[in-house]
Amino acid sequence: MVISPITFRRAFNRFQAINEQESGKPLSSFSEPGSLAYEWENYKKGIPHRALAVLEPQKWTKAMIGSGAIVSKIIQAIELPGGNNLVQWEGRNGPASRAHLRIIEAQDDPKACRELEALFFDLYHHGKADKTTFEAIVELCGKRYELLGYLFFIVAPERFLPLRTRSFDNAFAELGVDLRTERNCGWENYLAFLAVIRGVQRCLHAEGLTDTSLLDAHSFCWILACHKAEDEVRAPQPPPITLFSGSLKPVPPKGQFTPRDDAETRDMREEAQRRQASGQIAEEVALKAERERLCREGRDDLAAKVECESDRPGLGYDIHSFEKDGTERFIEVENISNGPRFFLSEGEWQNSRARTNYWFYLVSNTDNALPKVVCLPAKELRQEHLQPVQYLIRF
């Protein structure tokens, strides 16, 4: 499930506003002491270790299955000393509200006890965390996603995550993800949930939080859900495309080069990922704006055929579109949020010369809800406007 870069940037900006309001500054790492994310969520990282220290599954033997000892250990690992709010085990809304009620009841049911202990033996002693085990636990314990997510999380926290369905469904709705977990407890649905969180992790890496773990991405969604937006979060309308009205500047004469021995240290990986994320947002803005342009011109049929081709760099353009009469339009998208300039590869430059009806779409303000798209006809760009900034050396 692909998360829209525009939608994610909007949610990320709100997340950072929450952190700044609560902690005094935006979050730079989920491992940053004093930050909202750290104070709220860092405890989760220690729960699998605490739970496994209680379970001690390496000491289990097959002879224990049916004795009640394994079920007793599972209950202790859920009702962890010092607190465990990943599972509603206290029964705040009555005994029936306890997520692990069926496990408690199994202590007085020899058949259920034996069946559960056989499953838990496979899960924790043999590490059999798969569909068969998941569905068998559902059969015996009911569709309690909260319980299932926790049981799998403590066996392999690098692969699985706890799940409070309503909260995560709310976060996914803000992220534009069409996945509902509430009342949909099942193995495939759980894998889809995990895939979305991995997508969130990648998006957070792209936003510059490069040390974000899978569990940190889980925390990001939880914080968004716990701090509901004051107003309904709606996707902005595509901006109108305006024709370039400025003037292209010729290359200035070279000045004397002076080395900068006092240059500051910068995290180039973080900057590169942030630029890539902004570039993806610019492409999405341009794509939606271009489709909207054709719709305004009464060509919904052509708008439906407009495609982003940026994953095929050999083409030399990002978007394949059309004019109102069906003539092809080739578009190279440039993010100019950091200033009035953009970079061209040799292939893009040659394509702008060889293809007719080639355009540069200059997208700015990608960090806020009001981006701007200006289209520049490639025919206005000439050799005198190109300033070489890289050289290729062969050997």
CA distance linking residue 8 with residue 281, whole number of Å: 9
Mean pLDDT score, 46-59 = 96
Strand order in the sheet with 358-364: 241-243, 372-377, 358-364, 328-335, 319-322, 307-308
Closest CA to 274 of 359, 335, 222, 194: 335
| φ, ψ (nearest 5 deg) of residue 189 | -65, -40
Model confidence band, residue 146 (pLDDT cutoffs 50, 70, 90): very high
Provide the pLDDT confidence category of residue 48 given band limits of 50, 70 and 90: very high
> What is the H or E stretch that residue 186 is in?
none
- pLDDT reported for residue 262: 80
**Which residue type occupies 204?**
L
Q: What is the mean predicted confidence (pLDDT) over 51-69?
A: 96
User: What long-range pairs does 156-164 form, CB within 8 A, spacing at least 24?
Assistant: 156/127, 156/129, 157/45, 157/48, 157/215, 158/214, 159/129, 159/194, 160/129, 160/194, 161/193, 161/194, 161/197, 161/214, 161/215, 161/218, 162/44, 162/86, 162/87, 162/218, 163/190, 163/193, 164/222
| Whole-number pLDDT of residue 338 | 83
* The pair of three-digit structure tokens given for residue 380, joined into one six-digit string: 């206005």
Q: How confident is the model at residue 136 (pLDDT cuts 50, 70, 90)?
A: very high
Q: Which amino acid is at 285?
A: V
Q: What are phi and psi of 361, to 5 degrees?
A: -100, 115
pLDDT in tens, 147-178: 999 999 999 999 999 999 999 999 999 999 99
Using DSSP bridges, classify how beta strands 328-335 and 319-322 pair: parallel, antiparallel or unpaired.
Answer: antiparallel
d(CA 331, CA 376): 10
Query: What single-letter amino acid sits at 273?
Result: Q
* Interval 247-271 mean pLDDT: 82
Name residue 241's beta-bridge partners.
Answer: 373
Q: How far is CA 61 from CA 79, 121, 198, 360, in A?
A: 23, 8, 35, 68
Other CB atoms within 10 Å distance of the CB of residue 249: 11
Question: In 3-state terms, what secondary structure has residue 177?
Answer: coil
Say if residue 66 is exposed, middle or buried (CB neighbours under 10 Å; 0-12, 13-18, 19+).
middle
What kind and span of H or E run contains 322?
strand 319-322
CB 191 within 8 A of CB 205: no
Q: pLDDT band for 231, please (50, 70, 90 cuts).
A: low
Residue 236's pLDDT band (cuts 50, 70, 90) = low
Read off the pLDDT of residues 273-292 as tens digits, 9 standing for 90 and up. Answer: 778 888 889 999 999 999 99
Which amino acid, 17? A
Three-state SS at 120: helix
CB atoms within 10 A of CB 115: 18
**Domains of the chain listed by start with CATH number:** 5-226 (no CATH), 241-249+276-385 (3.40.1350)
CA trace torsion 44, 45, 51, 57 (10° rounding)? 150
Residue 158: its pLDDT value, please? 95
Helix (H) or strand (E) holding 325: none
Q: Chain-centre distance of CA 102, in angstroms?
A: 35
**Per-residue model confidence (pLDDT) at position 88:** 87
User: What are the pLDDT digits (tens) for 67-121?
Assistant: 999 999 999 999 998 778 899 888 788 888 899 999 999 999 999 999 999 999 9
Phi, psi of 278 (to 5 degrees): -65, -35
334: pLDDT confidence band, cut at 50, 70 and 90?
A: very high
Q: What is the pLDDT of residues 294-328, one digit of tens each?
A: 999 999 999 999 999 998 988 999 999 999 999 99
Whether residue 232 is predicted with pLDDT greater than 80 in this model: the reply is: no
Which range scores top for mean pLDDT: 248-257, 320-329, 366-375, 381-390? Answer: 320-329
Check pLDDT > 80 for residue 234: no
The two structure tokens encoding residue 386: 């190109």
Hey, is 294 helix, strand or coil? helix
From 17-26, 110-119, 255-264, the region with the lowest mean pLDDT: 255-264
d(CA 48, CA 86): 11
**At 143, is the pLDDT very low, low, confident or very high (cuts 50, 70, 90)?**
very high
Q: How confident is the model at residue 233 (pLDDT cuts 50, 70, 90)?
A: low
Per the prediction, the chain carries an average pLDDT of 92
pLDDT at site 367: 73
Quick: pLDDT tens for 171-226: 999 999 999 999 999 999 999 999 999 999 999 998 989 999 999 999 999 999 99
* Mean pLDDT (whole number) for 264-281: 81
